[in-house]
Chain A
Amino acid sequence: MTQPSGRQLHVVEGLMLLLLASAMVGPASAMDFSLSGFGTLGAARSTDESAQFVRDLSHPDGLTEQWSLNTDSVLGLQADLNIRPEWSATLQAVSHYRPDGGFEPEITWAFLGFDPNPSWSLRAGRLGIEFYMLADSRLVGYSYLTVRPPVDYYGTLPFSYVDGMDISATWPFAGGLLRGKLYGGLSREQSPWDQLQFDMSESLLLGGYLDYQKGPWQVRLGQTSVRFANDLPLEDFYAALPEATADELRVKDHWSHFSSLGIVYDAGPLQTQLMLSKTFNEHGTFEDTWSGYLVLGYRVQDWTPFVGVSAAKSAPADLQYAIPGYTDAYQSNFHTDQGTYFIGTRWDFRPGMALKAQVDVIRGDPSSTFLYRWENEEWDGSMTVFSLSWNFVF
Chain B
Amino acid sequence: MGWIHDGLQSFLELRLLAPAMCTDGSFRPLIATLLLLVALQAYADGPVVVVMSAASGVDRLTREEVVNIFLGRFRQLPNGQSALPVDQPRDPGLFSDFYGQLVDKTPAEIRSYWSRLRFSGKTAPPEQAPSEQEMLQFLASNPGSLGYLRAGQQPAQVKVVFNLGD
- Which A residues contact B (CB, under 8 angstroms)? 36, 38, 76, 78, 80, 82, 85, 88, 90, 92, 109, 111, 113, 117-119, 123, 127-128, 130, 134, 136-137, 139-140, 142-144, 170, 172, 175, 177, 213, 215, 267-269, 299, 302, 348, 351-352, 354, 393
Contacts and interface: CB of A to CB of B under 8 A. Distances in A.
B96 to A, nearest CB: 11
Interface stretch (B23-31, B46-54, B106-114, B157-165): B106-114
A354 B112 contact: yes
14 contacts: A80-B124, A92-B121, A117-B76, A128-B120, A130-B120, A136-B120, A139-B119, A177-B68, A215-B64, A267-B104, A269-B104, A348-B109, A354-B112, A393-B119
B111 A134 contact: no
A110 to B, nearest CB: 10
> Chain B interface residue count: which class?
20 to 34
Contacts of B113: 143
Nearest to A142: B115
Nearest to A94: B119
A177 B73 contact: yes
A172 B115 contact: no
Contact of B76 (A38, A118, A393): A118
B83 interface: yes
Nearest to B103: A268
A85 B84 CA distance: 9
A175 to B, nearest CB: 7
B74 A143 contact: no
A351 B110 CA distance: 11
Interface of B: 64, 68, 73-76, 82-84, 103-109, 111-113, 115-116, 118-121, 124
A140 B124 contact: no
B64 to A, nearest CB: 7
A134 B120 CA distance: 9
Nearest to B68: A177
A111 B111 contact: no
A118 B121 contact: no
For the complex of A and B, list the 9 residue pairs with the smallest distance between their C-beta atoms, beginning with the closest. A268-B104, A143-B116, A348-B108, A118-B76, A136-B120, A137-B120, A143-B115, A137-B116, A140-B119
Nearest to A268: B104
A213 B121 contact: no
B90 to A, nearest CB: 12
Contacts of A118: 74-76, 82-83
Given A117-B82, A213-B73, A268 B108 contact: no
A393 B83 contact: no
Nearest to B75: A118
Given A128-B121, A172-B74, A177-B73, 6 more contacts: A119-B76, A139-B119, A142-B112, A143-B112, A144-B112, A299-B109
A393 B107 CA distance: 13
Contacts of B64: 175, 215
Nearest to A166: B121
Contacts of A299: 106, 109
Given A88-B124, A299-B109, A38 B104 contact: no
